[in-house]
Amino acid sequence: MDNRPPLIVILGPTAVGKTELSLRLAERFGGEIVSADSRLFYRGMDIGTAKPTLAERRRVPHHLIDVSNPDQTWSLSVFQAEAKQVIADIHARGKLPFLVGGTGQYITAVTDNWIPPAQAPDERLRKALEDWAAEVGKLGLYERLAVLDPEAAKKIDYHNVRRTIRALEVIFKTGKKFSEQRQKTSSPYRVLKLGLDRPRDELYQRVDARIAQMLADGFAGEVHKLLDAGYAANLPTMSAIGYREMCAYLQGTMSLDEAVAQMKRLTRVYVRRQGTWFKEDAADITWLVMSDQVEEEAVAKIQQFLEN
């Protein structure tokens, strides 16, 4: 008998429909939702992240949403520690935790109990790498990482300069690949991973509709408010897809049409990257195609999992 506490994971690409289905499932099983979406940590970044609304958060308790300001970036290790604490609290209250999101590495860090590289930050080296990034550009820096450690590069968005720098920092300090230093240990949970999927064309249509709705809901105003509050456009959090394009539009370096086109293109790229990540965990994921029957299919899977 496996006596580890249960953890339900709802994962899938952007715009697939994770939010509404996870709400309905959590309601049916007396669960609480732990966000594993790295974009939802930050206060004031609501429209551009498709953050669950206050009404949705009243339906089911949510955790790890609006836990930091945009200039206080959460690392993977901080998220991992906080998520484990929240999940333990949910179990202690006799509730069922649902870990929900599309950020594959954040999910895996919790479910597989990752131990990140122990190398302490080296501020002098980090500053040198930041200067190097300014010289060769974020893509140039990323290409250097891809040569030194292709596996690490596969799992990093080249726009995420902070993560690229961290990987290079560890490589240069240890002389070993970053990807080889992240260890897995036995999971503290009995895990059921339910992956949600749609045909790619349908998913892209939903992405386009989401972006159109974001603009209609006042996305430009949200970004303008963040900039007025003193959050610089070059912050790591403001480099998220949508925010960097809207910053460029508001600062006059990109037209609105160009910004929207770029948002759509980069979101498609991100969807494909999510698919690549999840394929590596395919053996551990039960995939469900979104349909009118998907809720009942998911309920049956969860009931069977809990009974076993």
- Band (pLDDT 50/70/90 cuts) for residue 86 is very high
Given this model, what pLDDT does residue 241 score?
Answer: 94
Q: Strand, helix or coil at 184?
A: strand
Question: Per-residue pLDDT tens for 187-236?
Answer: 899 999 999 999 999 999 999 999 999 999 999 999 999 999 999 998 98
Two tokens, residue 27? 């309601």
Given this model, what pLDDT does residue 300 score?
Answer: 98
4 vs 122, which has greater pLDDT?
Answer: 4
The stretch 46-64 carries a mean pLDDT of: 96
d(CA 8, CA 176): 35
Give me the chain's average pLDDT, please: 91
Given this model, what pLDDT does residue 122 score?
Answer: 80
Given this model, what pLDDT does residue 133 score?
Answer: 85
